[in-house]
Amino acid sequence: MSEIVLIQPYTGTWDEMSIRYPESLLAVAAVPVSKGYDVSLIDQRVSKSFDKDLEQSVGPETVIFGVTAITGQQIKYALDVTRRLKAKYPRIPVCWGGVHATLVPEQTASHPLVDYVVVGDGDLVFCELFERLRDGRPVDDLRGIVFKSSRGDIQSNVGKVELKQLNKGGNYIVLRKNGIADVIRDLDSLPELPYHLLAIDQYRVFHTEDGRKSATLNTSRGCPFRCKFCSDPIINEGRWRGFSAKRVLEKVGHLYRDHGIQMIYFQDDYFPGSKKRFIDILEGMKKYERKIQWSTLGIRADTLSKLTDEQWDLLYDSGCHSLEIGIESGNERVIELVNKAETLDEMRESNKRLAKYPIKVKYTMIVGFPGETEKEVMDTVNFALELERDNPNAYSLIFPFMPIIGTPFYYDAVAMGFQDPKSLDDWENMEFDAWTKKYSTWASPRLTRKLEAINFTSYFHNKHVAYKFGGSSLLRWCFLLYHPVAKWRFENNNFSFFFEDHLKDWLLYAKYAVRRVVSKRIFSFDYYQKSLNASEC
């Protein structure tokens, strides 16, 4: 039985493609584990029996539950988990953390199922909260939390919300004065992640051609850039903090030696940090002679464009397997509008340099920003095609814009008619491909439909995307069948008469149906739709 029980809820449809380590909960668990406290981490995504795992973890000594969630579909699953915890263990308080709770802590804490919210870095604050609750000490003066007081009202220890204009472009950021717990600047001071809490073999982090065992790893927090659609400038206020190169290489070595990991997926918002740190990490990784390969989602085209010829060779020799680069738009005006702080020419330059190496490149783009025209949307589609033509190892995924609370574009969206969610429950509908069905938007119905078509076909138009469906033979077959249609639509800019959006629902239903047949359960499509709100789906 554990004193602390941490729970990773289902993510949603993304769970069908990959299941990454619950890095945020591992970070929260690290400090109490290092102090000798008994901690359990239950991951719904890999648990064979969630209720059984709970029964084995919860006992008289259990002091607190910790639940994490990101905005969107996971809110639904996190609330379902919390509801079950409250029904079965009403005496044990539930604390929420993560990106969504940090962005709207008071609204989150106002939910009848949530007792506490930890805002920002939870490594130290959550452990302090646990110790105070265990000892019966008051938490009223604990910085970095929002909670229900004994009177039933919401007490916020994270300061006052302010809006600050950072430049003439209207780049506003939410600031909280005199409340948030001190940011952890020296990440090397934190203990190692307690990987023993995970059933590591159950995770499908990254699909490779040779089936390498893979792991996620965060080597830093924050990003020094201030894109107007991104939550990072709100949460980290434009600050970047990283583990030293020495500590990063120690972490990589531990995963390789002790867990047989041969593929590392660096999940940082901005992996390089300083150029010296980046090169030092590459030099250290090179010593493995590509026995360990790596990928990252946090790197920019302008960073790559500044590398020397020798550093490009080092990038590949270090084991670089693939890179994910945020392009955002193929239109210069929109690039400036979103405050991307790089140019299309820098993107073209890095793409052509990458084409000289057998490194897969995923470009991510966003369409439908407030004020973006339909022509500018199509500029992005065509820029994606240009990058793919110039680099046969590149592919692009294009997502509809989704307003994130606190960002400059969120307030632009509200000014243009977006009706924002009013409760924690409502945020479950804020999905990239679904929120416009629930909430009003500035885009016309025709343009909204086009954005949905662009998003869906981007997943199928390029053969290199197929690896994302590596965890499911059914999805792989669907990719092969639909790929020619999506490729034709994309290359001809033809997104009219888009009937394929129903394919996604039927794909998920088919996968669900197979599971039910295997478990000899009766199912129907109506029951499937209801089950999307249930925890076992």
406 and 390 fall within a common domain: yes
User: Coil, strand, or helix at residue 438?
Assistant: helix
Distance CA 145, CA 157 (A): 5
Establish if 199 belongs to a structural domain: no
412 and 519 fall within a common domain: no
What interhelical angle do 344-354 and 374-390 show, nearest 10?
20
DSSP code for 181: P
509 and 493 fall within a common domain: no
Cβ(82)–Cβ(48) below 8 Å: no
Establish if 200 belongs to a structural domain: no
Distance CA 383, CA 406 (A): 29
User: Coil, strand, or helix at residue 3?
Assistant: coil
User: Coil, strand, or helix at residue 225?
Assistant: coil
Predicted confidence at residue 467, as pLDDT, reads 65
65 and 35 fall within a common domain: yes
Tally of domains in the chain: 3
Predicted confidence at residue 175, as pLDDT, reads 52
Burial class, 123, CB count within 10 angstroms (exposed 0-12 / middle 13-18 / buried 19+):
buried
Cβ(197)–Cβ(41) below 8 Å: yes
520 and 387 fall within a common domain: no
Establish if 185 belongs to a structural domain: no
Predicted confidence at residue 532, as pLDDT, reads 42
106 and 221 fall within a common domain: no
339 and 478 fall within a common domain: yes
213 and 155 fall within a common domain: no
Establish if 197 belongs to a structural domain: no
DSSP code for 189: G
Establish if 224 belongs to a structural domain: yes
Distance CA 331, CA 392 (A): 22
Domain end among 159, 177, 195:
177
Quickly list DSSP for 35-104. TT--EEEEETTT-S-HHHHHHHH--TT--EEEEE--SSHHHHHHHHHHHHHHHH-TTS-EEEESHHHHHS
pLDDT tens, per residue, the chain with 537 residues: 899 999 999 987 666 667 899 999 999 999 999 999 999 999 999 998 999 999 999 999 999 999 999 998 899 999 999 999 999 999 999 999 999 999 999 999 999 999 999 998 999 999 999 999 999 999 999 999 999 988 889 999 887 655 555 444 444 445 555 555 667 889 999 999 999 999 998 888 777 777 889 999 999 999 999 999 999 988 888 889 999 999 999 999 999 999 999 999 999 999 999 999 999 999 999 999 999 999 999 999 999 999 999 999 999 999 999 999 999 999 999 999 999 999 999 999 999 999 999 999 999 999 999 999 999 999 999 999 999 999 999 999 999 999 998 888 998 888 888 888 889 999 988 876 667 777 777 788 889 889 999 999 998 999 888 766 655 677 777 888 889 999 999 999 999 988 877 766 666 555 544 444 443 333 344 433 444 443 333
DSSP code for 395: E
Predicted confidence at residue 522, as pLDDT, reads 39
Establish if 364 belongs to a structural domain: yes
Establish if 512 belongs to a structural domain: yes
60 and 104 fall within a common domain: yes
Q: Closest Cα to residue 146, out of 125, 170, 171?
A: 125
Q: Closest Cα to residue 233, out of 170, 297, 300, 172?
A: 172
Distance CA 76, CA 9 (A): 9
Q: Domain containing 43 — which CATH number?
A: 3.40.50.2300
Helix (H) or strand (E) run with residue 516 in it: helix 501-518
Q: Closest Cα to residue 355, out of 308, 323, 318?
A: 323
Residue that is written with structure tokens 């990773």 in the block: 8
Distance CA 457, CA 482 (A): 9
Distance CA 205, CA 119 (A): 27
Q: Closest Cα to residue 214, out of 253, 260, 268, 261?
A: 261
Q: Show the domain range for 295.
A: 205-498
Distance CA 490, CA 514 (A): 31
214 and 309 fall within a common domain: yes
Cβ(327)–Cβ(365) below 8 Å: yes
Residue 458 CB contacts under 8 Å (≥ 6 apart), including other chains: 384, 396, 397, 398, 465, 486, 490
Distance CA 146, CA 157 (A): 6
Residue 449 CB contacts under 8 Å (≥ 6 apart), including other chains: 498
Establish if 376 belongs to a structural domain: yes
Helix (H) or strand (E) run with residue 325 in it: strand 320-328
Q: Closest Cα to residue 74, out of 7, 28, 6?
A: 7
Predicted confidence at residue 151, as pLDDT, reads 84
Q: Closest Cα to residue 296, out of 326, 271, 314, 274?
A: 271
pTM summary value:
0.88
Cβ(80)–Cβ(44) below 8 Å: no
490 and 534 fall within a common domain: no
> 146 vs 24, 103, 115, 126, 317, CA distance in Å?
19, 12, 9, 12, 47
32 and 120 fall within a common domain: yes
Distance CA 249, CA 214 (A): 16
Cβ(126)–Cβ(140) below 8 Å: no
